[in-house]
Amino acid sequence: MIVKPKLQIKLKDTVVPEKQTAAPVIKDIRKLTLQELQNFFVENNEKPFRAKQVYEWLWKKSATTFEQMTNLSAGLRQLLTAHFAIHAVTIAEKQLSKDGTIKVGFRLHDGNLVEGVLIPTEDRMTACISSQVGCSLTCKFCATGYMDRVRNLDPAEIYDQVVLIDRLAKENYQKPLSNIVYMGMGEPMLNYANVLKSTELITSQEGLGMAAKRLTVSTAGIAKMIRKLGDDEVRFNLALSLHAANDDKRNQIMPINESNTLEALREALKYFYQKTKNKVTFEYIIFNNFNDTIKDADELYKFCKHLPVKVNIIEYNPISEAQFTNAAEDKITKFAKYLEDKGIVVNVRRSRGKDIDAACGQLAIKERK
């Protein structure tokens, strides 16, 4: 066997490129826990109580720059700036409806956009916020369902939406937010950990201090995550986007039902109620000639009677991607009365912000700027 000699390379004749050092990745400080902040200050020969000051600036005072942290020395602020960033959400666009509703386009630090809505009424100021960029579910009546899911929002990005919509409420209506609904873009139960962390930041005394009963998280119906909500004994309200109490019909408009049947959802909701004692809200859009008959109402009643619930009947808001239309007014009235006569608490919700595509089911990023 002939062994070939190894190729000899003379380094002195070879030009070795200078090694490139990657720029350090600056972490968003809001991803750190209070303990991790304390560790950072100790490692940098600073007092650990500084961490609590910074934490308060971030979550109680909603600071978006280190310069706003005026009870820290200039040196400390420079230390933070050298190691961290604050990836604050900003308002890219606002639209005002003739009924006073304000739709907001939020710009995330990576350039992605999500939408939220301020819904003012006589007795409340409600923020409708998003939990994902796009959505992986494909509900046929929802504009977001025709978008791809790009990514989950982190807790700070959800928190920022609340802060910014609260400022709009105060600026435009001289009232603070009274309610928050996770009913914007995305499926909250598919971003479970971040959604729960955001509710903690919004409700804790170290955060915004809102009452948990002022928060409602809406889901298209993922049974195992509804059970997990029960195990975690959450204090906020739960709403299920139901829209049909018949598996065949629900499969047609909400493909998630094929893997999360009504029976599975019913058992999960019973478990959730046993664990939390929180009454569940069913959201039911009445589509013309689809789910608007007394037979449909009776199927809904039979689904409702297994636990304490209330039903929100919602006016359908048309989108260009679907051919659904809203049921006639007399059908909605008869539908609601049938449920009420059976002892079900029913609210008929009228659309807000339809003229600016801010109503239920209409949120979608139509153009990226």
Catalytic residues: 115, 360
Q: Which amino acid is at 228?
A: K
The Cα–Cα gap between 71 and 74 comes to 9
The Cα–Cα gap between 264 and 46 comes to 53
Sheet holding 113-120, edge to edge: 90-96, 102-107, 113-120, 125-128, 179-182, 215-219, 237-241, 280-285, 309-314, 345-349
The Cα–Cα gap between 364 and 369 comes to 14
Helix (H) or strand (E) holding 156: helix 155-173
The Cα–Cα gap between 351 and 210 comes to 26
DSSP string covering 239-251: EEE-S-SSHHHHH
